[in-house]
Amino acid sequence: MNLILLGYGKMGKAIEQIALRRGHTIAARIDTAAERDQLPKGAGDVAIEFTQPDAAVDNIRYCLRNGIPVVSGTTGWLQHRPEIEQLCQEQQGAFFYASNYSIGVNLFFRLNRSLARLMNAYPEYQVEMEEIHHTQKKDAPSGTGITLAEGLMAELDRKTGWVEGPTNDPALIPILSKRIDPVPGTHTVAYRSAIDDIEIKHTAHSREGFATGAVVAAEWLLGKQGAFGMDDLLG
């Protein structure tokens, strides 16, 4: 495949390394909307979009309107997801999104939901979450943290929402965000009682897992039509 990298920052560069290793080529490395708008028609087979919260929606719209299948990993814009999915349908386009592309985190998402189902029977445990990332991260809480909270809300009857920071509201899941260099991404879900604590934790050692997952998603998306996520890819 010939890949358009929309966003050539930390993730764009990590994705380039993995893509080249897997035999793909790079059609363009884009860091601004102006550069993107100068792309010739048919410049690449798939775009991989890792930019920033205020740029993602415009980039994804551009791809869908120009018939470019797009894999996005940018976090912090998902309030616009229904609009993007509608545009994808109207344009008969191809769109793939994951808040986290690493296999390990996607296993962790499933473990989180299973543990939450189990904990319905044990109301004496209070659940809380922590996410730690490098200081350049623009959004908080992390997209992965929000996906974990949504998993808890879907399975744990006593939780109806989440909040950033501590809370005394028993219906809300507190998510604590810490920014420490050079952490690529660490997420913990903890159940605490007066007697003991149970914690599950995912620690990324580098960006390799995120980048590999994004390239695999691009390979998988080529030739498909619709809006997809990691559960479609992993089965």
Ligand X SMILES: O=C(O)C1=N[C@H](C(=O)O)C[C@H](O)C1
Active site residues: 133, 137
Among 3, 28, 44, 133, binds ligand X (CB under 6 A): 133
Question: Which has the closest alpha carbon to 144: 175, 166, 181, 119?
Answer: 175
- The residues that bridge with 95 in the sheet, in sequence order, are 70, 227
Neighbour-count burial of 154, counting CB atoms closer than 10 A to its CB (0-12 exposed, 13-18 middle, 19+ buried): exposed
Could you give the strand order of the β-sheet that contains 226-228, starting from the edge strand earlier in sequence?
25-30, 2-6, 46-49, 70-72, 94-97, 226-228
How many C-alpha atoms does 117 have within 13 Å on its Cβ side?
Answer: 5
Q: Does 193 bind ligand NDP (CB under 6 A)?
A: no
Q: Which does 203 bind (CB under 5 to 8 A by kind): ligand X, ligand NDP, none?
A: none
Measured from the CB atom, the residue of 51 and 100 that comes closer to ligand X is 100
Residue nearest to ligand X (CB): 185
Q: Does 118 bind ligand NDP (CB under 6 A)?
A: no
Q: At what angle do helices 81-90 and 53-65 cross, to 10 degrees?
A: 10
Candidates 97-105, 110-118, 195-203, 226-234; binding stretch for ligand NDP (CB under 6 A): 97-105
Candidates 38-46, 50-58, 123-131, 156-164; binding stretch for ligand NDP (CB under 6 A): 50-58
Contacts of 216 (CB under 8 A, 6+ apart): 101, 233
Q: Does 75 bind ligand X (CB under 6 A)?
A: yes
Measured from the CB atom, the residue of 24 and 133 that comes closer to ligand X is 133
DSSP 39: P
Location of structure tokens 């934790």 = 201
Least separation in angstroms between CB 207 and ligand X: 7
Q: Does 115 bind ligand NDP (CB under 6 A)?
A: no
Least separation in angstroms between CB 84 and ligand X: 18
State the residues that interact with ligand X by CB under 6 A: 75, 99-100, 133, 137, 142-144, 185
State the residues that interact with ligand NDP by CB under 6 A: 6-12, 30-33, 36, 50-52, 55, 59, 73-76, 98-101, 210
